[in-house]
Amino acid sequence: MSKYVLLRHRDIPNIKDLKVYQDQDGFKAFKKAVTSLDQGEVTEIVKASGLRGRGGAGFPTGLKWSFMDQDNWPHYVVANADESEPGTFKDREIIEENPLQFLEGVAIGSYAVGAQLAYIYLRGEFWQLAEFLDGKINELEKAGLLGENLFGTEYSLKIHTHLGAGAYICGEETALLESLEGKRGQPRLRPPFPPSFGLYGKPTVVNNVETFTNIPLIMENGAEWYRDLGTEDSAGVKVFSLSGRVKKPGNYELPFGSTYRELIFEHGGGILNDAQIKAIMPAGASSAILRASDKVLDTPLEYASIRKLGSDLGSGSVIVIDETISMDWVIKKTIDFFKHESCGKCTPCREGNYWMSYLTRKIHSGEKTEEQIQLLYDVASNIQGKCLCALGEFSVMGVLTSIDRFPEDFGREPIGSDKG
Amino acid sequence: MNDLLSKYPEEIKTILAKYPSEQKRSAVMPLLFLAQRKEGYIREQALSEISQILDIQETEVATLVGFYTLFHDGKTGIYHIQVCTDLCCALRGSEDFLTGLCEALEIKPGETSQDGMVTVEEVKCLAACDKAPMFQVQGKDGISYHENCNVDNTLEMIQEWRESGAAEQEETK
């Protein structure tokens, strides 16, 4: 058996081929679900597994599925493959190398909520990946694993890919649905949430690629098996995308409860040029940035413990900053990104990011006056809590935590001990 | 006369079949990709052709061209190089790579080389942070990723495009 749950291609060569995947019991779980389990039973197993959404929000997956409005049909399933957050590159590897496990997960999820039509929304840049997936879907249809009256039952399922065209905001689930409907990708006011009002106004489950890829093995090995892989707080395993100033950047699948020290120094080979580690961004460009200390490095990677440190585990996109980098440059870069990607719908995010961009550039170019820094801090604080979606909220995290936790990089008095 | 429809009847049928028949509007982005496939940008005429195919307003098509960065409404180089200079890539030298590449091509970011072969621009995260410097190329054959790049091997690739472009021109003569 593979030592991996998600990145199984790393020890099972060619698992992307249907024959190999089926030799590894591929599509048995889907068949078992369709032929012998009630739709509700599948959701119950996923609920019991403790699986939480891997796109960043960490919402319990089974619970989301159980929210689907049973009085409004048809139901839809949408897989979110719009991976666009600086620091995140896990879904691409999963789709490229272990596509059938992902597709089986989408199929099981669709069965669980009674959807007969599912879409995979990929960022437009994943053009080659979409063609590749189309080929795999075609193969599954020919093999009778997708399509009409599956396994001799009443249940039918079609899966289609749909390409975005370059907009980070489309990773936000309601913006994604707008985009899939052929509109500009701008978030909707919520509630209602997609399980009651989703694609074309119908109940819709939207889950991340990694989330779906967990499902086949949970169905095969049971909820308890999955829970036992992780910790009490965070069940199972997670793919961490490690990037920045490390020797061996890449994706690492680790059980929850591992530490940053293991991730960065054992798997990632340590810091480039053996410099000192300075900061960790646990969740890509949206991170509340942590000052690297022994306490932080040895904290178990779990949703709750990272929150206690004053950040979020998010999608597990760990960006490492070393001593050669100044935080005023880091936030100039993150704000460049958010300013460009703000969809323009709500004022605090649209205008706020414009001003934060103006100020972070000014500060980075040398105008580190107390007045400018305080103004930046005030603008960021005024954006916080007032945006239509998470993008605006994310944009201020790096700014506020950099100024709070790395005051010396902004010409302020250094703090005595690590607030970490 | 609908040029798009007469040029790509089969492709359009396949695209429309993906969506419920009463939700044709969902096909607007795939059709925009189709419209810019050959020339690398979307002509104004295509906007009205798409709006006819989908029974929506022309402005509802046009608004997407401005919103999404992969749609272009003006002529660019035959190959459109987009270099990611976001945080993670910048931590691994992508800003120097972009500067070096542009200097070698004697252009500024956003400009097209004199022979009209390549446009180079900066772009936001492409989900390849562990393999920077990296860029994507939008060209005749869709979009491809190029990772762990340096200026020399990128210039070699551009030289190959130039040579194969010249060869193609020879053939059509």
Residue among B25, B86, B130 whose CB faces A182 most closely: B25
| 8 Å CB contact of A160 and B63 | no
- Measured in angstroms, the CA of B39 and the nearest CA of chain A are apart by 17
- The pLDDT tens digits for B109-157 are 999 999 989 999 999 999 999 999 999 998 877 889 999 999 999 999 9
Q: Which residues of A touch B94 (CB under 8 A)?
A: none
Q: What is the DSSP letter of A313?
A: -
- Measured in angstroms, the CA of A97 and the nearest CA of chain B are apart by 15
| 8 Å CB contact of B67 and A128 | no
Which is nearest to A5 in space by CA: A229, A281, A169? Answer: A229
Q: Which residues of B touch A341 (CB under 8 A)?
A: 124
| Number of helical H runs and strand E runs in chain A | 17, 9
Q: Which residues of B touch A83 (CB under 8 A)?
A: 127
CA B120-B102-B169 angle, 5° bins: 60
CATH superfamily, with its number, for domain A8-227:
NADH-ubiquinone oxidoreductase 51kDa subunit (3.40.50.11540)
| 8 Å CB contact of A89 and B71 | no
| 8 Å CB contact of A184 and B67 | yes
The residue ranges of every structural domain in chain A are 8-227, 237-322, 327-410
- Measured in angstroms, the CA of B94 and the nearest CA of chain A are apart by 12
Residue of A nearest to B85 (CA): A333
Which is nearest to A213 in space by CA: A14, A415, A26, A3? Answer: A26
Q: Which residues of B touch A85 (CB under 8 A)?
A: 125
Could you confirm whether domain A327-410 is CATH 1.20.1440.230? yes
Residue among A124, A164, A337 whose CB faces B125 most closely: A337
Residue of B nearest to A127 (CA): B143
Strands A250-255 and A237-244: antiparallel
Fold of A237-322: Ubiquitin-like (UB roll) (3.10.20)
Residue A94: per-residue pLDDT: 97
**Band of pLDDT at residue B173, cut at 50, 70 and 90:** low
| 8 Å CB contact of B28 and A182 | yes
- The pLDDT tens digits for B10-32 are 999 999 999 999 999 999 999 99
CA distances from A258 to A250, A269, A301 (A): 16, 16, 6
- Measured in angstroms, the CA of B157 and the nearest CA of chain A are apart by 19
C-alpha–C-alpha distance, residues A324 and A326, integer Å: 7
Residue B47: per-residue pLDDT: 96
| 8 Å CB contact of B127 and A164 | no
Q: Which residues of A touch B64 (CB under 8 A)?
A: 165, 182-184
Residue of A nearest to B30 (CA): A163
Residue B78: per-residue pLDDT: 87
Region for A162 from its dihedrals, namely left if φ exceeds 0, alpha if ψ lies in -120 to 50, beta otherwise: beta
Question: Both tokens of residue A399?
Answer: 């700014």
Residue A111: per-residue pLDDT: 98
Residue among B26, B124, B142 whose CB faces A127 most closely: B142
| 8 Å CB contact of A124 and B68 | yes
Q: Which residues of A touch B129 (CB under 8 A)?
A: 86-89, 241, 243-244, 249, 317, 319
C-alpha–C-alpha distance, residues A68 and A212, integer Å: 17
What residues of chain A score a pLDDT lower than 70? 1, 417-420
- Which residues neighbour A178 within 8 Å (Cβ) at sequence distance 6 or greater? A184, A185, A186, A187, A188
**Band of pLDDT at residue B170, cut at 50, 70 and 90:** low
Residue B171: per-residue pLDDT: 64
- The pLDDT tens digits for A361-389 are 999 999 889 999 999 999 999 999 999 99
Q: Which domains does chain B have, with CATH numbers?
A: 3-67 (1.10.10), 79-172 (3.40.30.10)
ipTM: 0.92
Tell me if A265 sits within 8 A of A318, measured CB to CB. no
Q: Other CB atoms closer than 10 Å to residue A36's CB: what's the count?
A: 9
CA A160-A161-A165 angle, 5° bins: 150
